[in-house]
């Protein structure tokens, strides 16, 4: 009796894999799409809007805000906030203008400005970490302190007439296609590159994300959370001071009322750029796109000519609410471990 023939083995059917974009990238992608759509709408509506120089002007006019937003990104990634950045920018312009007027060398003025911003950031970081003060309160105190020091230096505006500062302010770099950018744009892009490297390729950066995700878990893992919490405020203070130097190049003056409300613009740019206010998720490049979105809205209103500048605030408010809603939706859809 012969055995029945064996049935041929069934071929395994492979189900095609669907590539899904990780949810942490969605806010950044959404910001980039908003920027492209907004800029595209301007290009269709206005002649000359799509020129390379208009794009370059977005970076020229917002180089200082890009640097300030980079520092704010570090702080928000840990779940904190920094309300002092606008006042530190103003204080930096006042120190630079008053120092140059008093005859200080330009290099010494730069060091003094950066050291002052870093020291203020260190003080606020110590208050937050060592004494358990809420970041909102600690940086609110820093905001009043920095703004008050501005008026101590001078109530009136101080013009910058020093040759080195004026040469940097008026100098430009020619790019292909007849496009020109300022030295401030180069400095801002270097800051963005360094910040991206620190956040993604260093232990300090990984600890920043860990603290924002869960500070208690990061502490149990043996990470130096205290040093990082103080460090992000030092970075924010340094970036605010550097942004103040770039703003002094842009305005060629120091004034106590410079950068009023810039802290809100920086927070809006970071949130629109996809960084979670709760911390732990976000990218520096997203903050850059957030600044470009805000700059594009301002450019659209200036091209229109008939709209009030307050429409910029209205549009920013709508965008901010939309991106906060997007963040909440993404957080709710994430699977519970």
- The residues, any chain, with a CB within 8 Å of residue 173's CB and separated by 6 or more, are 180, 181, 182, 183, 185, 186
The whole-model pTM stands at 0.89
Task: Answer yes or no: is 201 within a domain.
Answer: yes
Domain that holds residue 221: 27-33+51-330
Using alpha carbons, select from 162, 187, 180, 190 the residue that is nearest to residue 246: 187
**225, 120 contact by CB (below 8 A):** no
- The residues, any chain, with a CB within 8 Å of residue 118's CB and separated by 6 or more, are 234, 237, 238, 241
CA 157 to chain centre: 27
Task: Answer yes or no: is 10 within a domain.
Answer: no
**72, 85 contact by CB (below 8 A):** yes
Task: Answer yes or no: is 280 within a domain.
Answer: yes
Task: Answer yes or no: is 4 within a domain.
Answer: no
Task: Answer yes or no: is 41 within a domain.
Answer: no
pLDDT tens across the length of the chain (337 residues):
455 555 555 555 555 555 566 767 777 888 888 889 888 888 888 888 888 898 999 999 999 999 999 999 999 999 999 999 999 999 999 999 999 999 999 999 999 999 999 999 999 999 999 999 999 999 999 999 999 999 999 999 999 999 999 999 989 899 888 899 999 999 999 999 999 999 999 999 999 999 998 888 888 888 888 999 999 999 999 999 999 999 999 999 999 999 998 999 999 999 988 898 888 888 999 999 999 999 988 888 888 776 666 777 787 788 778 777 776 676 665 554 4
170 forms bridges with which residues in the sheet?
Answer: none
Domain count, the chain: 1
Task: Answer yes or no: is 3 within a domain.
Answer: no
Task: Answer yes or no: is 259 within a domain.
Answer: yes
Task: Answer yes or no: is 15 within a domain.
Answer: no
């Amino acid at each position: 009796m012969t055995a029945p023939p064996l049935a041929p083995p069934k071929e395994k059917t492979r189900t095609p894999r669907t590539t899904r974009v990780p949810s942490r990238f969605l806010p950044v992608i959404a910001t980039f799409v908003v920027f492209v759509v907004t800029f595209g709408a301007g290009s269709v509506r206005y002649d000359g809007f799509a020129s390379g120089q208009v794009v370059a002007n977005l970076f020229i006019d917002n180089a200082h805000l890009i640097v300030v937003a980079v520092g704010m990104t570090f702080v928000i990634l840990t779940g904190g906030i920094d309300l002092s950045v606008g006042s530190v920018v103003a204080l930096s312009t006042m120190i630079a203008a008053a120092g140059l007027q008093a005859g200080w060398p330009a290099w010494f003025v730069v060091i003094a400005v950066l050291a002052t911003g870093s020291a203020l950031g260190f003080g606020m970081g110590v208050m937050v970490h060592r004494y358990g003060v809420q970041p909102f309160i600690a940086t609110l105190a820093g905001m009043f302190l920095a703004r008050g020091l501005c008026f101590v230096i001078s109530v009136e505006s101080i013009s910058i007439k020093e040759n080195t500062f004026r040469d940097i302010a008026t100098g430009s770099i020619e790019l292909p296609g007849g496009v020109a950018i300022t030295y401030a744009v180069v400095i801002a892009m270097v800051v963005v590159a360094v910040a991206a490297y620190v956040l993604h390729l260093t232990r300090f950066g990984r600890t920043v994300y860990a603290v924002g995700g869960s500070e208690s878990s990061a502490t149990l893992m043996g990470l130096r959370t205290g040093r990082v919490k103080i460090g992000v405020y030092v970075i924010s203070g340094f970036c605010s001071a550097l942004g103040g130097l770039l703003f002094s190049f842009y305005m060629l003056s120091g004034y106590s009322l410079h950068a009023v409300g810039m802290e809100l613009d920086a927070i809006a740019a970071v949130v629109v750029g996809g960084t979670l206010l709760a911390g732990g998720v976000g990218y520096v490049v997203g903050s850059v796109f957030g600044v470009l979105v805000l700059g594009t809205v301002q450019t659209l209103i200036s091209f229109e000519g008939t709209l009030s500048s307050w429409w910029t605030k209205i549009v920013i408010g709508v965008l901010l609410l939309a991106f906060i809603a997007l963040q909440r939706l993404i957080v709710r859809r994430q699977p519970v471990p």
